[in-house]
Amino acid sequence: MCQLLGMNCNVPTDIVFSFTGFAMRGGRTDTHQDGWGIAFFEGAGVRHFVDHQPAVDSPIADLIKKYPIKSKNVIAHIRKATQGEVNLENCHPFVRELWGKYWVFAHNGDLKEFHPQLDGAYRPVGTTDSERAFCYILQTLRRRFGDCCPGRDELRPVLAALVAEIAAHGTFNMMLSSGGELWAHCSTNLHYLVRQYPFETALLSDEDVKVDFSEVTTPNDRVAVIVTQPLTTNEQWTAFAQGELKLFIDGLPQG
Amino acid sequence: MCQLLGMNCNVPTDIVFSFTGFAMRGGRTDTHQDGWGIAFFEGAGVRHFVDHQPAVDSPIADLIKKYPIKSKNVIAHIRKATQGEVNLENCHPFVRELWGKYWVFAHNGDLKEFHPQLDGAYRPVGTTDSERAFCYILQTLRRRFGDCCPGRDELRPVLAALVAEIAAHGTFNMMLSSGGELWAHCSTNLHYLVRQYPFETALLSDEDVKVDFSEVTTPNDRVAVIVTQPLTTNEQWTAFAQGELKLFIDGLPQG
């Protein structure tokens, strides 16, 4: 299995603190050492970093821990290979374009006998069940909505049916974003919290690091962090229900 | 205008030396300070770095200069904006998937009244003429060859006609790769050299740096470097002819 980390905010925020703890699970506090990746939206653009080295040893992960890239939507992943070799093309998150937007996707889980018919619009480059699922999602959305990007209310039931269909093949914890929002689906294991005013000090569970967020935020900031296993020991994390698809906008879970 | 740098090799090679000189043109020895980017193929995967900060000031460019990522095909770009704002989505190179392969593209030049009809298979995320041209190239190749990736002999005349059609709209120096080869087209300004045994010392023209390649290579290595303006002062660079489309494989220009 793998681990997922997502962040959705109302103002561009850096993920240095959360990523520092998360990256420790990529070979030190946990065994997810078959590569890692992270994607940051910045406007309509994406900064995309993938590496098949363990996150704890990666010079690129080291840069991410030190260089505060600010973003309203971030998806990160550390990999423990279940399907597909350990190589760069199998590292999550994956990025593709649909409706003139980049879409970013990462998956934790294992899909059995999942071989959807792909029409060629999106074809996997690597050999993971995850990238196959991502291609199938984008293909289905394009077929369903044609050339027009739907509103979120229109998108939600279609996406919910689609992820349920895929999740019937196995574990499908996943995150998906086209830059303005973050969708998270839980099969088995996903937690979130919302940090907002009054901000307090948070203690990482994977490394001896703490941050007093009141010193680095304004009262209007709001940040949702979504992760496989809670990252801090002194904050209240909420577990997703099995089969739940949650939409985060501006740091808040919707409805 | 912008500047382009490409590398095509027979064994995975790092681009630290060439990139060090090239990056100086991103705000120091030249005025290309509206962002930069570089893409490295590694197997079927791509490491893609873009930044809208000048290359001379970018912490990510700094990492690339220090961290020897080895690749057989690399495309880099430093930008001086002519069309499209200075932002991340307008930074080259661009990456898209066709036929289950990533394709990487970068462009130097300026296209006038270039508004091809795009059918939605590939839609620009940013606002540059360059990304529009890339989307049009991939759309045309997919329409022409359907679901089957053609051989290079089949691809060449189609690509040659396509780049000539686009170049009729203005300056279209460009590089394109799907990982196993590098295509380079010259409208106005492109040079290349092939480094092979016996290797010698090369002196960068943009910074006081030299490398004795005989110390860091084996006799079988072969590296083609393609760039807007020659990067070294003591090597023999060959200028492309106007309108020339060249294919590089394993460090050698073909035919």
Span A116-138, pLDDT tens digits: 999 999 999 999 999 999 999 99
Contact at 8 Å (CB) between A4 and A40? no
Res. A80: pLDDT tops 90: no
Catalytic residue numbers of B, as ranges: 2
Half-sphere exposure of A126 (CA within 13 A, CB side): 25
Topology adopted by domain B3-253: Glutamine Phosphoribosylpyrophosphate, subunit 1, domain 1 (3.60.20)
- The distance of B61 to chain A (nearest Cα, Å) reads 11
User: Which of these, A128, A227, A58, A139, lies nearest to B120 by C-alpha position?
Assistant: A139
Alpha carbons B237 and A121: distance in angstroms, whole number? 41
pLDDT at B144: 97
Write down the domain spans for chain A: 3-253
State the ipTM, two decimals.
0.94
Q: With an 8 Å Cβ cutoff, is A124 touching chain B? A: yes
Cα A184 off chain centre by: 8
Encoded amino acid at A78, one letter: I
Q: Residue A231 is encoded by which pair of tokens?
A: 């990252």
For residue B73, which of B23, B11, B131, B144 has the smallest C-alpha distance?
Answer: B11
Percentage of the residues of chain B whose pLDDT score is greater than 90: 73
B59-82 residue pLDDT tens: 888 888 888 899 999 999 998 877
Q: Is the pLDDT of residue B170 over 90?
A: yes
Q: Cα separation of B21 and B64, whole Å?
A: 12
Residue A208 has pLDDT above 90, yes or no: no
pLDDT classification of B26: cutoffs 50, 70, 90: confident
- For chain A positions 149-178, those within 8 Å of chain B (CB to CB) are none
Give the residue-averaged pLDDT of B13-39: 85
Q: Which of A190, A184, A194, A199 is nearest to A225 (CA)?
A: A194
What pLDDT band is residue A210 in, cutting at 50, 70 and 90?
A: confident
pLDDT tens digit sequence for A224-254:
999 999 999 999 999 999 999 999 999 999 9
Contact B47 A50 (CB under 8 A): yes
- Phi then psi for B28, rounded to 5 degrees? -115, -70
B102 touches chain A (CB under 8 A): yes
The residue-averaged pLDDT of A207-218 equals: 87
Question: Which segments of chain B does DSSP mark as H helices, in order?
Answer: 16-24, 59-66, 129-145, 152-167
Among the partner residues B49, B120, B146, nearest to A147 by beta-carbon distance:
B120
pLDDT digits (tens, 9 = 90+) for B124-153: 999 999 999 999 999 999 999 998 899 999
Residue-by-residue DSSP string for A9-57: EEEEEE-HHHHHHHHHTBTTSSB--S-EEEEEEETTEEEEEEESS-GGG
B90 interface with A at CB cutoff 8 Å: yes
- What pLDDT sits at residue B1? 63
List pLDDT tens digits, range B42-56. Answer: 999 999 999 988 888
The rounded mean pLDDT for chain B is 93
pLDDT digits (tens, 9 = 90+) for B187-234: 999 999 999 999 989 998 888 888 888 888 899 999 999 999 999 999
Cis peptide before A198 (omega within 30 of 0): yes
Q: Please check whether residue B101 touches A, CB under 8 A.
A: yes
Q: Name which of A16-20, A90-94, B122-126, B173-177 the model is least confident about.
A: A16-20
Confidence of residue B173 (pLDDT cuts 50, 70, 90): very high
